[in-house]
Structure 1
Amino acid sequence: MKQKYDVAAYVWPAYTGTEPRAYQFWPEKSGEWQTVNKAKRKFNGDTWPRKPLWGYVDEADPYIMQMQIDAAADHGVNVFIYDWYWYDRRPFLEQCLDNGFLKAQNNDRMKFYLMWANHDANDTWDIRLSGAGTVIWDGKVDLSEFERICDRLINKYFHLPNYYKINGQPVFMIYDLSNLINGLGGLENTKRALDWFREKVVASGFPGLHLQSALWGENALNISGVDSSRGFSQKNAVFELGFDSASHYQYVHFTNISRDYTELMPDVVKEWQRIQTDYHIPYFPHVTLGWDNNPRFKETLLDVMTGNTPSEIKKALQLAKDYVDAHPNQAPLITVNSWNEWTESSYLQPDSLYGYGYLEAVRDVFLELAGKEA
């Protein structure tokens, strides 16, 4: 039975020891599992440390990803959005996608698309430096570098049969509009660059390119540790650059997350509705599972989401489903943070805290209902 909804979970491709350039952040060569494994309890009510029920596995291993694809698809997650990086004139952390997911024998069960995580890379990933803020790699690229990136995306990924498309157009999400615009030399230059990208995609045999923006609050704050400051009108940039749709990456980007999940969800739904009204492009509802990035820092951070139990997440997913049902003229896409953002405490993978609770919440909302409607 074909699933009615496209439930897309972001994938943070850092759980592997096969990226040599990542050893400066995680010298034990297990990727960010090094940080997860050493997380400590910091305050009363802290839900860390947590343990992955699947173990500290290498997600660049196709056998491991075959298991994860089955687990995801069996619970109603049928799209992965891979965070994709380009630093210092070459790709970074492609191994989990190229060697894990794309070499898994069952990857036809899952669609995937890319979100260019074009933020600066700083020492947030290295707990030994713990928030010093030093930029390791600049996320901005100039036009020649941008064109190299586009050629790589078209030739390597867009033509794959399980690359996620809307109306035949490959979907490509951009995380940091500020870095994109500043790197390309302003809004007009960026518009020309994106128009060139669209033309290249059409010349490659597609009906077009579906550009998606990862939105922030209009007055967003940088508290996740890896994000550029907002130096422009987001709404104007999305309009001028001709983005086809929008979603979010994390609640932390647009609302106060230092509260109970039941308190923040009404504000989240209001934000969905505001964007749909103000931006005049399809908005795909987003559900974040949690926020607590204390595992990445030596000090204790107070911005922590509470009450994000599987039962509350199930309610949020139902709200996202209701939103999709109320907008039948757009793709039935819902984004979820995330498949494996362990060090931000927002992941679907089973753990020692809730077991398979989050995955079961997805299944209960999207698969069982789909079965009843079939």
Structure 2
Amino acid sequence: MRIVRLLIPVMLLLGTATRHASAQNTGNPIKVGAYYYDGWGGKNAKANDPNEPWAKNAPRQVTKRMLDEFADREPLWGWRSDSQEIMERQIDLAADNGVEFFLFCWYWRDTQGPINLDRIAKLPGHESMHRYLKAKNKHRIKFGLLIANHQGAEITGTENWKVATEHWMQYFNDPQYIKVDNKPLVVIFSAKGIENGDLAGMQEVSQKQGLAGLTIAGCGNTAGKNFDVRTHYNVVPGYSGGPEEHKYSELANAQRKQWQGTKEQPYIPTVIAGWDKRPWEDPSGNGKGGAKQGWYYTDRSPAQFKSLLKDAVDWMDVHPEQTAQERLMLIYAWNELGEGGYLVPTKGDPKASYLKTVKEVVAEQNKKVK
């Protein structure tokens, strides 16, 4: 996934005093969701290249640089996650560690020519969600959609947004679908890629299909757009600013600076587990074609991540009028291994220490509200 490209100054919005704001706590437990990227299955683009033997059995988004320089990011079950067994294992991992729902990336990829939703549903990028839907332990966590309307997956025109919404009704009507304000939550990756008429068309379709409507969240700058909620996929200073090493604290502060909402358009805070997309960058061809070199943040730690998680909870405690009443928090990401934001257990972190910090923060919060 690409990110919101913002170069923003380091700014700490929350003082330590907010850690003691329990008097203003709404009394509701937090609900933690994680973005799920479905890039770790299928056939690698270089699989049939005799000069690239490493790619023969590699999944789509793995690069040679990942294997050579970033092997510590390989999940304990291997680079491939395209099996029912591994999906069910991930559901249990999430549920056991405080993650209440996955937001699966969903790609249109059919805006030119005749619409073929059956074909779209089978395209690479949707397999993991369908494995989730078939999982025997599906009941343990909820799910939702992040509409990845960018980089060749743009949905253009109100009619296409309506057709897509009709297709998504099968998911919205699933009892495990995540809701905000008693309506299915849909997150739109690119707020600038959808117009108010398109948003109205989505609401119209959902209401005609018997729902009270949708809660539609826009990522990034939602000015002038009739989104119900604002959020982010992530916020990364220096996305294409050249290869520079930076501190995780700068990355964390960039997220904090965005935690601002209104009663009319609440904000769902995003917490970032890390950022380092060098495995996808390499002018020699060992990365992904077209990946621009940018800043990377190498000193992340579970303690720093936990501090950011707690600050997000504290922000919701102090500003209940600026966030959703369900007190949702979104983590970038469950498994963005190529970009350095992940919670899954890996060879470099076999005990899933970042995931365990989620469990600790959720347990602490639940203890407060009981």
- Pairwise TM-score range, normalised by the shorter structure: 0.7 to 0.9
1:313 matched to 2:300: no
Task: List gaps (5 residues or longer) in structure 2.
Answer: 1-27, 49-55, 285-292
State the Cα distance separating 1:153 from its structure 2 match: 0.6
Deviations 1:227-261 (A, max 9, x none): xxxxxxx44333xxx21111111121699995212
Gaps of 5+ in 1: 42-47, 121-136, 181-189, 216-233
Amino acid at match of 1:175: F
Task: Tell me the alpha carbon deviations over residues 150-195 of structure 1, each in whole angstroms, 9 at most, x when there is no partner.
Answer: 11011x2100000001122011111113333xxxxxxxxx322321
Structure-1-length-normalised TM-score: 0.75
Q: Do 2:161 and 2:202's aligned partners in 1 also have CA atoms closer than 8 Å?
A: no
Mapped partners of 1:179, 1:172: distance in 2 = 14
Please give the residue correspondences for 1:182-261 in structure 2 after superposition, counting only pairs within 5 Å: 190-215=195-220, 234-238=221-225, 242-252=226-236, 259-261=246-248
- Greater Cα shift, 84-93 or 356-365: 84-93
SS of equivalent residue, structure 1 residue 86 = coil
Aligned to 2:332: 337
1:282 deviation in Å?
A: 0.6
| 2:46 is equivalent to residue 14 of structure 1 | no
Report what 2:357 is aligned to.
Answer: 361
1:271 & 1:38 partners in 2: Cα distance? 31
Is the 8 Å Cα contact of residues 201 and 209 (structure 1) preserved in structure 2? Answer: yes
Partners of 2:227 and 2:132 lie apart in 1 by: 28
Report the CA distance between 1:118 and its aligned residue. 0.8
| Aligned-pair CA distance for 1:145 | 2.5
Q: For the Cα contact (< 8 Å) 2:274–2:340, is it kept in 1?
A: yes
Q: Pick from 338, 347, 351: which aligns with 1:352?
A: 347
Question: Superposition pairs for residues 141-160 of structure 1, below 5 Å?
Answer: 141-154=156-169, 156-160=170-174
Residues 138, 207 of structure 1: CA spacing in aligned structure 2 closer, same or farther, 3 A cutoff? closer
Q: Which moved more, 1:316-325 or 1:258-267?
A: 258-267
Shift, 1:51, TM fit = 3.9
Counterpart for residue 127 of structure 2: 95
Equivalent pair of 2:108/2:155 in contact (CA under 8 Å): no
* SS of equivalent residue, structure 1 residue 276: coil
Q: Distance in 2 between matches of 1:322 and 1:308?
A: 21
1:99-118 superposed matches below 5 A:
100-118=131-149
For 1:254 and 1:298, locate their aligned partners in 2 and report how far apart those are by CA, in whole Å. 17
Please list, as runs of the form range in 1=range in 2, the aligned pairs for 1:55-66 lying within 5 A after superposition: 55-56=77-78, 58-66=80-88
Distance of aligned partners of 1:72 and 1:194 in 2 relative to their CA distance in 1, 3 Å threshold: same
What residue identity is the alignment partner of 1:165?
K
Q: Give, in angstroms, the shift of residue 369 of structure 1.
A: 3.9
Q: Displacement of 1:138 after TM fit?
A: 5.4
Whole-Å Cα distance in 1 between the matches of residues 38 and 316 of structure 2? 28
**Residues 1:204 and 1:251: Cα distance change in structure 2 (over 3 Å):** same
Q: CA deviation at 1:209?
A: 0.9
Identical columns (%) = 28
1:25 offset after TM fit, Å?
7.2
Change beyond 3 A, Cα 1:26–1:144: farther
Aligned residue for 1:40? 68
Q: Give the drift of 1:141.
A: 2.2
Q: Determine helix, strand or coil for the equivalent of 2:246.
A: coil
Q: Kindly tell me: are residues 158 and 311 of structure 1, through their superposed partners in 2, closer, same or farther at Cα, counting changes over 3 Å?
A: same
Q: How far, CA to CA, are the matches of 2:157 and 2:46 in structure 1?
A: 26
Asked if 2 retains the 8 angstrom alpha-carbon contact of 1:119 and 1:138, the reply is: yes
Does the aligned pair in 1 maintain the 2:73–2:337 contact within 8 Å? no
State yes or no: 1:299 paired with 2:283. yes
Is the CA contact (8 Å cut-off) linking 2:271 and 2:330 kept in structure 1? yes
Residue 286 of structure 1 is matched in structure 2 by 270
Contact 2:158 2:201 in 1 (8 A): no
Q: TM-score, normalised by structure 2?
A: 0.76
Residue type matched to 1:151 in 2?
A: E
Aligned to 1:323: 315
Taking only aligned residues, the RMSD between alpha carbons, in angstroms, comes to 2.7
The total of aligned residue pairs comes to 311
C-alpha separation between the residues in 1 aligned to 2:208 and 2:238?
37
Distance 2:211 2:237 in 1: 33
